[in-house]
Amino acid sequence: MLRSAFRGGIHPPDMKQATAGRAIERAPVPERLVVPASQHIGACCEPTVEPGQRVRRGQIIASIDAFVSAPVHSPVDGEVADVGECLTAAGMRVPAVTITPDAEQDFESWEPVEGGEPAAVVRSAGIVGMGGATFPSAVKLSPPKEFTLTTVILNGCECEPYLTCDHRLMLESPERVLRGGRIMQEALGAKRLVIGIESNKPDAARAMKTAAHGTGAEVVVLPTKYPQGAEKQLIWAILRTEVPHGKLPAAVGALVHNVGTAAAIADAVDLRKPLMERVVTVTGRVARPGNYLVVLGTLVRDLIETAGGFVGEVERVIAGGPMTGPALGSLDVPVTKGMSGIVVLGPGDAAAPVDADQPCIRCGRCSEACPMFLQPFAIGTYANARLWDRTEQVHALDCIECGACAYVCPTRRPLVQLIRLAKAELTARGVRP
């Protein structure tokens, strides 16, 4: 029996059939890697290597002492070709280290991270939220003392259309995922460990249930509904508890981590392995859609070549899922810790771009779809009129930017873009949720 879902949300076609049955395979290492020094939310790292320097796989190449940060490691053995800047998928320019990899790589060998408490190991390993949020995981494992964590939730929903990297990870490495969850549960003293999986991945749910048998961990199958994997919606679906306005999940005793993050934490604690690679779904209009284990710093252009190149006419390449991922202006951007997919879309595969706001016809569909109980039409209208105080009054900062409102809008208003504009303006003014 399925748990009932959160209120609101949408049911876009999941479009996962092209890669759901494709086992994870290692992508070849390209001739050049561009590794950004910032692959997380928080303070940008500073490069610690110089051009011409030899680097070892797992060696720290960028770091900073800030609390909300995560070091960056060389994903290969090789030589530093350049230290400069690179363009990211988000359209920003950040410091980066360009590496020429050796012709031969030993993927079973690396510079081990330092030991100690799990949170310290996770910090040393440079692990961040791999579902796309990229929040440094060590910070989540060090909650303020006033909070008591009772439940660790692993997010295996993967509700974004097209993406299957988490699905394959749970299917092929359920023990690693579970082990990572147990490490977090023990480190926080939490009573419960729950893995939430959407109903469109029954094989992954079976694999996780088999791995969890006798351990006390629970596997909960949830309705397939977007955005089921959003943190607050997942907490409500599993715990029937609402995270209060302006509060973190820790306020209700919950901690949510992506299943990929859990597997990386298990590797860090058990193998002393830093985060140097991740699984990326490459799908859509490519010759060989699949789930690839990719060393960080691989350019999207090289990864698409690994997937056999483009097929037919291509209109848009998206980093991540099509609901929340940015459309790329260049293919010469690197794969980073939070990049779960590359989706190649052709004409007719996605809504046409909208250059300007459209009239609101007051149908209310955006409010019905909003999982945060907001009024997206109102935020959009106020943002368009630059009435920032009004956008604050209708709680623009609570928007999770899932895109459900824009998906259902019959006049195709660019609601997400307008809400992002309002959020940026309010944040610049010092307003907090």
State residue 246's pLDDT score: 82
Q: Do 331 and 299 form a contact (C-beta atoms < 8 A)?
A: yes
Name the strands in the sheet holding 218-222, side by side, starting at the edge strand that comes first in the sequence: 218-222, 192-198, 151-156, 254-258
- List, as one string, the DSSP characters of 236-284: HHHH--PPPTT--GGGGTEEEEEHHHHHHHHHHHHH-----EEEEEEEE
- Under-50 pLDDT residues of the chain: none
The full 3-state SS of 52-80, as one line of letters, equals CCEECCCCEEEECCCCCCCCEECCCCEEE
Residues 29, 41: Cα–Cα separation, whole Å:
27
Of the candidates 117, 114, 164, 206, the one whose C-alpha atom is nearest the C-alpha of residue 321 is 164
| Residue 144, token pair as written in the block | 């303020």
Per DSSP, the three-state class of 100 is strand
pLDDT of residue 433: 74
Question: What pLDDT is recorded for position 292?
Answer: 98
Write down the pLDDT at residue 115: 78
Amino acid letter at 227? P
Question: How would you class 218 by CB atoms within 10 Å of its CB: exposed for 0-12, middle for 13-18, buried for 19 or more?
Answer: middle
Distance CA 158, CA 268 (A): 23
Q: How many CB atoms lie within 10 A of CB 375?
A: 17
What is the pLDDT, as a whole number, of residue 162? 98
Identify the sign of the CA torsion 229, 231, 233, 236. positive
pLDDT value for 355:
67
